[in-house]
Amino acid sequence: MSAAQAVAERFTMVTDLLALWARRKPLQTAFTHLNFDASPPLTVSYAELARSSAQIAAGLSPYRLRGRPVLLLYPAGPDFAPAFFGALLAGAIATPVPVPRFESQYHRLDSVAADCTPGALLSTASTLDWLGPRLGAESPLRKCPWLASDKLASDKEEASLSLLSEPPKPADIAVLQYTSGSTSDPRGVAVTHANLAHNLATITSEFQPSVNARLLSWLPHFHDMGLIGGVLSPLTWGGESILMSPQQFLRRPLRWLEAISEYGVEVSGAPNFAYELCVNRANRGGPDALGAALDLSSWRIAFVGAEPIRAATLTGFTESFKTFGFQRSGLLPCYGLAEATLLVTCKPARTVPTIYPVSREGLEQGRATLSGQRDALQLVGCGYPVAGTDVRIVDPASGESLGHNRVGELWVAGPQVARGYWNDRDNPSFCAKLPGCPGQAFLRTGDLGFLTEDGEFVFVERLKDLIVLNGQNYVCHDLDQTVSASHPLLRADGCAVGLIETDQGPQMLVIAEFPAQDLGRAEETANAIRGALFTVYGLSARTVAFIPIGKLSRTTSGKLQRRATLKRLASGSLRLLAHSGEPIPGFSHLI
């Protein structure tokens, strides 16, 4: 066991880790915030982080927020971490939310506030001044105190970690993690202090970073991978977290790799789409565009997760950047979800990812059969269950536990599984039972996959009505409703949005029932669909397919069968009236 792992496994509270490093190495940098402008990066030491967090906690104490959610509304930057730890130290439930930019995000923020009834909204004074005029008069956010963390800290200059009374307990809820993207009915995952500490220790054990290793993240701090994997995990080994904003990455993806090179970063990761963006930018500009000084040899842990992982992306990334010192063994595919705090399965560090060529026909029959055919699906192994985790593959209809190489729903049990959803603690997803496991509750993930003969988990596709694109979750029903309302010729229940895998990567496909007599207005309608999806969600649909009225696949009770509809379209058995945009792609499987 490494020194870093030993430290991580001795603590049950992340706030204890903050106190430990503030005491042992107060002057070491905890966070470096990159600006990419004329001003130098902003650094925060462990002592400064502990002091600011304690000051904010002391400032929160008069508001009696123990056990109550506190919304943390912060842009990317140095103000978030002290507010997060300050909320935990005050016994409050830290609830990170994004600063809204689109109309739909204001609606979502209101929905989150209505769901959790926060005890306070915590942000900077400037952000609160900016937000006030933009909120609706009836917003639930107006019913709680608005507190500026920068003013709370300045009013409590003498506060320290040792002066804070009634520290939270491991069984108390630490974080409400609202899933990313769009949901009409947001649900906050109630993550306890014990869940959080266990998963952080597990990440350290699986990743095996060196002592004082630097981690770099551009992922949003309100996303589970960004919060736990980016902001918090270096505290378990006393390392440094180097942070840049998501916008800085999206404006210029290769900036991520340049920062890894400049700071000698050992640990960094992202969803599949980020690696693909880097490959595309590198191929577009050629090796010379990256500069001879780029050195990725320090990057030993390049974790990949949060969305389906493509074998072509892993291969393309390795080929594009091996001349700069990147090794394929650095790629670390993993699987996790907010309902299990974060990490569930993980490839062993410093081993090459495993690709499984699987028969398409076998998958249709629920079996994972290795195939030598050229059209076999290239599925990426997501590693093995982490320590203390019980992972089963279960028939979602019968509840029967399945053997190796059988495709079913992934069920998870272990100390990282969260308490449940806020206001829905008894949700059946968290209390599934298996024969032969009395007293053990399993989390139903809603994801389909299989376990290989040696126990590696391989993700196949999603069972739940959810798609993941660019690291964001989107509820398909929400997208369907937005599309249906975009044009008067579309029916309220006559549209289906899905994500498919093509040779060019994941693509969004819209299928809409359409009156045949109005085909002259099909392009006009398609433009309305694209405009609505982009305006509300920032998404683009490369293909819009129009089919006759009543031809979407449905159950006998009338419920939309999205997967069946997409499969019929792929096979050519669904009659097509017209399409707009790219030709109907020959896609390999659903996502």
Last residue of some domain: 195, 210, 241? 241
**Are 194 and 172 spatial neighbours (Cβ–Cβ below 8 Å)?**
no
Judge residue 425's burial from the number of C-beta atoms within 10 Å of its C-beta, 0-12 exposed, 13-18 middle, 19 or more buried.
exposed
Q: Encode the chain (591 residues) as per-residue pLDDT tens digits.
A: 554 555 555 788 899 999 999 999 999 999 999 988 778 899 999 999 999 999 999 999 999 999 999 999 999 999 999 999 999 999 999 999 999 987 768 888 999 999 999 999 999 999 999 999 999 889 999 999 999 999 886 655 556 655 556 778 899 999 999 975 544 577 899 999 999 999 999 999 999 999 889 999 999 999 899 999 999 999 999 999 999 999 899 888 999 999 999 999 999 999 888 898 899 888 876 555 666 689 999 999 999 988 788 898 999 999 999 999 999 999 999 999 999 999 999 999 999 999 999 987 888 788 999 888 877 889 999 999 999 999 999 998 889 999 999 999 999 999 999 999 998 877 889 999 998 888 899 999 989 999 999 999 999 877 766 677 776 767 777 788 789 888 999 987 789 998 877 766 778 889 999 999 999 999 889 988 988 888 777 788 878 999 998 888 876 556 678 878 887 887 788 888 988 877 765 544 444
Residues 432, 415 share a domain: yes
pLDDT tens across 437-458, in order? 888 999 999 899 999 999 999 9
| CA gap 242, 262 in Å, rounded | 11
Gap between the Cα atoms of 458 and 455, Å rounded: 9
Q: Give yes or no: residues 538 and 416 share one domain.
A: no
Q: How far apart are CA 159 and CA 140, in angstroms?
A: 32
Strands 443-451 and 457-462, by their bridges, are: antiparallel
Rounded CA separation 506/23 (Å): 47
User: Strands 214-217 and 188-192: what pairing?
Assistant: unpaired
Look at residue 298 and tell me if it is in a domain: no
Phi-psi label, residue 446: left if phi above 0, alpha if psi -120 to 50, beta otherwise: left
d(CA 165, CA 578): 67
Give the Cα separation of 572 and 438 in Å (integer): 47
222: containing domain: 3-15+46-241
Same domain, 381 and 476: no
The pLDDT of residue 3: 47
Cα 127 → chain centroid: 24
> Based on the structure, what is the number of domains in the chain?
3
573 and 517 within one domain: yes
Q: List C-alpha distances in Å: 542 to 219, 307, 505, 539, 570.
A: 26, 20, 12, 10, 16
Residue 34 is predicted with a pLDDT of: 96
Question: ∠ CA 40-46-48 to the nearest 5 degrees?
Answer: 70
Round to whole Å and give the CA distance between 461 and 413. 20
Spatial separation of the C-alpha atoms in residues 311 and 574, rounded to whole Å:
30
Rounded CA-CA distance 109/80 in Å is 17
Alpha-carbon torsion (307, 311, 312, 317), positive or negative: positive
The answer to whether residue 311 sits within a structural domain is no
Last residue of a domain, one of 188, 222, 241: 241
What one-character DSSP code corresponds to residue 170?
A: T
CA-based end-to-end distance of the chain? 38
pLDDT of amino acid 503: 67
75 within some domain: yes
The pLDDT score that the predictor gives to residue 183 is: 47
82 and 223 share one domain: yes
439 and 470 share a domain? no
Question: Domain check: are 439 and 508 in the same one?
Answer: no
The answer to whether residue 132 is domain-embedded is yes
| Statement to judge: residues 506 and 565 lie in one domain | yes
561 lies in the same domain as 453: no
Shared domain for 436 and 516, answered yes or no, is no
Element (H, E) at 219: none
Euclidean distance between CA atoms 292 and 290, whole angstroms: 7
- In a shared domain, residues 472 and 399: no
C-alpha dihedral sign at 377, 380, 381, 382: negative
Break the chain down into helix, strand, coil percent, rounded to 5: 35, 25, 40
Residue (of 297, 294, 285, 282) closest to 258 by Cα position: 294
From residue 105, alpha-carbon distances to 221, 337, 535 in Å are 16, 22, 11
162: domain CATH number? 3.40.50.12780
pTM equals: 0.83
At 221 the three-state DSSP class reads coil
One DSSP character per residue, 462-528 reads E-SSEEEETTEEEEHHHHHHHHHTT-TTS-TT-EEEEEEEETTEEEEEEEEE--GGGGGGHHHHHHH
Residue with tokens 């840049």: 244
- Please report whether residue 285 resides in a domain: no
SS3 243: strand
Instruction: Select from 191, 215, 241 the last residue of a domain.
Output: 241
361 domain residue, yes or no: yes
Assigned domain for 56 exists:
yes
Q: What is the pLDDT of residue 1?
A: 53
Identify the pLDDT of residue 184. Answer: 52
C-alpha span between 272 and 252 (Å, rounded): 16
CA-based angle 192:43:242, to the nearest 5? 60
- Residue pair 211/238 in contact by the 8 Å Cβ criterion: yes
472 and 437 share one domain: no
